[in-house]
Structure 1
Amino acid sequence: MTAFSMWFAFAFVLIALLLSVWQKLGLEKEIAIGTVRSTVQLLAIGYVLQFVFQSDHIGFILILIVMMVSVASWNAASRGAGLPGIFWRIAIALSVTELVTMGLLVLLGLVSPTPQYLIPMSGMIIGSSMVVCGLYLNHMNRETESSRGEIEALLSLGATPRQAIQGVLKRAVKASMIPTFDTMKTIGLVQLPGMMTGMIVAGASPIDAVRYQILIMLTFSSSAAISAVLISLISYRLWFTKESILRS
């Protein structure tokens, strides 16, 4: 696809805009902003990646991964507005997930420790974990509010904050992981994932593309579990005050 022909792809955005106007959805501004931001961001990261791949320096790789973790943490933390320190806890969860997952991939010889592998796969792992953390916060807020009476009753009977919120914690962790495993159940039947499709379009063998996609999906299962469990362990106290009173 040439740079000129790429402009024709914006016809798809025009369809979305026309449908929004027709149905009076009021999404024209969001569609326009999202289109401009995604285009600019992707073009910018394309040039950055080209420079990093050519330099092949570990420092640039680390800077990009830190940037990914920071942006993902900020985005997921927006789901927990009002919880003091939630950004740093999410950052810790994402960093540990990235370190453990990518460390195993490299140590087991599943991927080569080069920018072409480390950066794209890190982006997918961190992005998947970000979604898990965001879902966890959503469910924790909802479950805590709906179970407020039960939690406060347990606290009044002498339970610790962990004991009082344990049931809510388990339900939130489980709910945050379900989408990842639901995707794994239908992949290849309902959808052909982006990495696999991209490799095939680029001319790679479908069998090679499938192998890498299997690796990614299995990695997602591990990263989802690590990030969900870790964020639950280091963040549940944020729903309580220093006096172990459930926050409103």
Structure 2
Amino acid sequence: MLPVNSVLGAVLAALLVAAAGVAAVARLTGPGGRSHARAVGTAGLRAAVQLAAVSYVIGWVVRAVPLLLGFLLLMYAVAVWTAGRRVTGNRTWWWAALPIGAGVLPVVAALLLTGLVPVRGIALIPVTGILIGGALSATVLAGRRALDELASRHGEVEAGMALGLLDREARLEIARPAASDALLPGLDQTRTVGLVTLPGAFVGMLLGGASPVMAGAVQLFVLVALMAVQAVAVALVLELVARGRLHRGGGPGRPAGEVA
């Protein structure tokens, strides 16, 4: 659909500069007041390098099952690291492995056991990548929102405990609504598919020569599978935060969400 030439490179560079420029002019900042302008530029450059490398690597790993499994594990490890460090800066980040793995693994296993997806890299890598990406996004959103809410409403948590609620129950009451918001992007995408947007799987199938019916079936599967993966991820992140396993404190004795 797009020619890979100097024109494409120039357009991409202009769009990246525009995105970073808008972030700088609008003073869009992240945690700690750091400007997102530099983050936008860095993310774009990283994406270019990583996609170029992955394009060559995938052609190599699809030739053998051990290489394929190794590549999938690498995808999972990077997702865990990224999600965990986005949620917290301390050693509890590795708990992000649980919601991502518990959401993705059962779905991938079901697809393989039913034969809907063959054990071939050309099919397994993109499907697993979509699911891991969805779990990553849900984990980050749920974890950050839950911990932010607990930090800003810590007094309400203590009030609930004073009324007789257990630590976990008091934190759940405060964190659950905020963490649940992580499901909204996936829900909105599913509700408006075909009316507002035509997602990548649908367009890719059409460009690959599939019929509109087949493309629609594949896209429906992707959306429903993503909702299942993200629901599991959000539920587990909420539980980890409520139990104090995933926190921003200086140690396990600090309340979940309390900043050191």
Cα-Cα RMSD: 2.6
Say whether residues 1:201 and 2:207 are aligned partners: yes
Distance 1:195 1:168, change over 3 A: same
Does the 8 A contact of 1:89 with 1:235 survive in 2? Answer: no
Q: Which of 225, 228, 232 matches 2:234?
A: 228
Figure out how many residues of one structure are paired with residues of the other and give that number: 244
TM-fit CA distance, 1:158 = 4.0
CA contact (8 A) 2:172 2:238 kept: no
Paired with 2:215 and 2:182, the residues of 1 have a C-alpha distance of: 28
| Alpha-carbon distance, 1:19 to partner | 7.3
Distance 1:181 1:22, change over 3 A: closer
**Which of 175, 183, 196 matches 2:181?**
175
Any unmatched runs of 5+ in structure 2? 28-35
Q: TM-score, normalised by structure 2?
A: 0.83
- Residue identity (%): 26
Q: Establish whether residue 60 from structure 1 lines up as the match of residue 67 from structure 2.
A: yes
- The 1:133–1:28 alpha-carbon spacing in structure 2 relative to 1, beyond 3 Å, is closer
The one-letter amino acid of 1:46's match is S
Deviates more, 1:151-160 or 1:185-194: 151-160
- Structure 1 unmatched ranges of 5 or more: none
1:231 Cα deviation from its structure 2 partner: 2.2
What one-letter code is carried by the residue in structure 2 that aligns with 1:10? Answer: G
Note if contact 1:144-1:168 (Cα within 8 Å) is conserved in structure 2: yes
| Counterpart in the other structure of 1:44 | 53
| SS, match of residue 5 in structure 2 | helix
**Number of the residue aligned with 1:140:** 146
Q: Please give the secondary structure, in 1, of the residue aligned with 2:243.
A: helix
Matches within 5 A, 1:1-248: 5-16=4-15, 17=17, 25=25, 29-53=38-62, 55=63, 57-85=64-92, 87-238=93-244, 239=247, 242-243=252-253, 245=255, 247-248=258-259
TM norm structure 1: 0.86
Worse-superposed segment, 160-169 or 124-133: 160-169
